[in-house]
Chain A
């Protein structure tokens, strides 16, 4: 029946979208990622990047870093529903302005002996490293903020990218810079 539902928000809305980063601590059990991803998929929200790894301090848990393009209001609802999942232990939303983000990129680029030194120099500028050398190709690793990796990717493209992989970002909240005793003044 048309007009039966009258909800606002969702992916078809025209408001500008922005990245939101969610860090979700989950129990390290089969199917948990599907439960988490399902809540986004149900609403038609696209997950922009995703990084999952076991928590370093307790093997019972994993940390999922999700970057999603969505407005704040529906995201708040998803976040609350994520927290309802039995296997979700903790969620923090990181604002890009208040967090430090890193991503790793590895790439294989065409680099015959005539341009090899140029490519090595370029990677050097971005604090990357060469991780494999072939007759006319180089493999490299660069880590950094996602914007920086975009730049590197752009600069490598003219040489011919054979293969390129990015991990998706991981993030931590920015640290407090004010000494605690000054805060109370």
Chain B
């Protein structure tokens, strides 16, 4: 399309997506979005036809998680729009760049309770970074550009564009428009209220550098913002320059290599002991792109009680939201870290000495020795230990394997037991905790990187929520691999009921026998396996790794009695972290 060339809203919408560099749309057509689906046939963009709109949203998220590019999903009006609300909320809480296009009834019919009508912008207002109801065809190129700009800059997030049918339907005169493509300047001028700060304030950077060199027990609290800002390299430079240990939150797993000697792993409710205790005992918490989530802090008043806090985040609303920082820095994590590194180098060159942190390092290595991750050995007759399955899977897949998970015990174990050595290899639903996330997210990730191995580790409860997307994967030839840690329970809820509800198990048992996951997998066009014995774990994983022409599902029958440790009970201080029962004797010796 040339400038001023006559076109229609539907064609313009697809053209705009092409110009934004969209490679793939995850979606499902329907009445109101029909006219936009027609030009897809002639477009360079790949469309992946999902089986449920929630799947489209999570696939777009999975794609965005591993590429950093905005994931795009497109669905029709009404029930389709309400079905993407969950992925939108998920993307909003995890700051995932995403553009969602929904069909809408014709403009004149809006508000009349027309067929498949719902107030999509009203419903999604609080779960999107921004949303649009397009009223004129001529607004489409501008709004698409704005949407991608908003989704990918500042704190990334989902943006929804609701498109009434009449303005995209070439048979309707309201769809007529002349093509144009706005410049960056025009977009900026059209968004007077949107100017994200990216560069950290120089005085704050200097203060941060001073505090870092003066701290005797410093620790870096690295959050998902590191990945969003593509700051993993900068983070490594900061850690290695100063010898400061790095804790990576659930959203930041992979942002710093787990095999690095300075990596302490995951903090929080199911964080490892050393990471949790390092926060409780530190004198300087260097918070980079993290948000003091309740799952990390435990009881907020008793979190990191001795620490001064440096808090760098691109979202000013995060600074002081939960913990008042001593040095707040608004800006892009990568730029801020690079500036801090430069400031520290400057101070060191001018003769400043870094404080002695050797006692702190000794303390940390003591914790690591006394409280490594632990699970009891398999005993004959037991179902599989889920941790053993994960260790075997981890040790028999390539280092750059992309791992996705759902939400619950299996998610925590995967985060704990996997060794993430590369950024963008871990995809999960952290903030919203969306069960059913992993299968579609894995599909989205595999679409982005067809040559890399993608494993979804899922629970049996989660799997049953979105498993139908494996039909999509089979038909579209997207060979993802799914490991179900099947303990027949809603495991995390069961764990809470065991520990906090006197073992009164209310509505958490799913079923020993149904569904038959192997048959179900095969019915969906996947290879299906069931593993009961420990000695079958490795050979089955090896078989699965060799299958590349269709998805694979392995039903690992795991031990329902296994609990996730360590654990900080909800509302408790992190200092009251519960370790594995076999390690209880070591508690309290710092």
Contact = CB atoms under 8 A, between A and B. Distances in A.
Interface stretch (B53-61, B314-322, B398-406, B412-420): B314-322
Contacts of A6: 294, 299-300, 570-571
A86 B193 contact: yes
Interface in A1-50: 1, 3-8, 26-27, 30-31, 34-35, 38, 42
A164 interface: no
B194 interface: yes
Interface residues of B, number: 25
Contacts of B496: 1
Contacts of B130: 85-86
Interface residues of A, number: 28
A169 to B, nearest CB: 24
B160 to A, nearest CB: 12
A84 interface: yes
Interface string A86-124: 111110000000000000000000000000000000000
A167 interface: no
Contact of A89 (B129, B192, B315): B192
B125 interface: yes
B163 to A, nearest CB: 15
A45 to B, nearest CB: 14
A173 to B, nearest CB: 21
A5 B299 CA distance: 10
A81 B319 CA distance: 11
Contacts of A87: 193
Nearest to B492: A1
Nearest to A89: B193
Given A1-B496, A80-B317, A86 B571 contact: no
B121 interface: yes
Contacts of A90: 193
A3 B571 contact: yes
Contacts of A84: 315, 317
Contact of A3 (B122, B317, B570): B570
Contact of A30 (B133, B316, B321, B493): B133
Interface string B88-131: 00000000000000000000000000000000011001100110
B191 interface: yes
B294 A27 contact: no
A132 to B, nearest CB: 35
17 contacts: A3-B570, A3-B571, A26-B193, A27-B192, A27-B193, A30-B133, A30-B135, A34-B122, A76-B320, A83-B316, A84-B315, A84-B317, A85-B130, A85-B193, A86-B130, A86-B193, A90-B193
Interface of A: 1, 3-8, 26-27, 30-31, 34-35, 38, 42, 60, 76-77, 80-81, 83-90
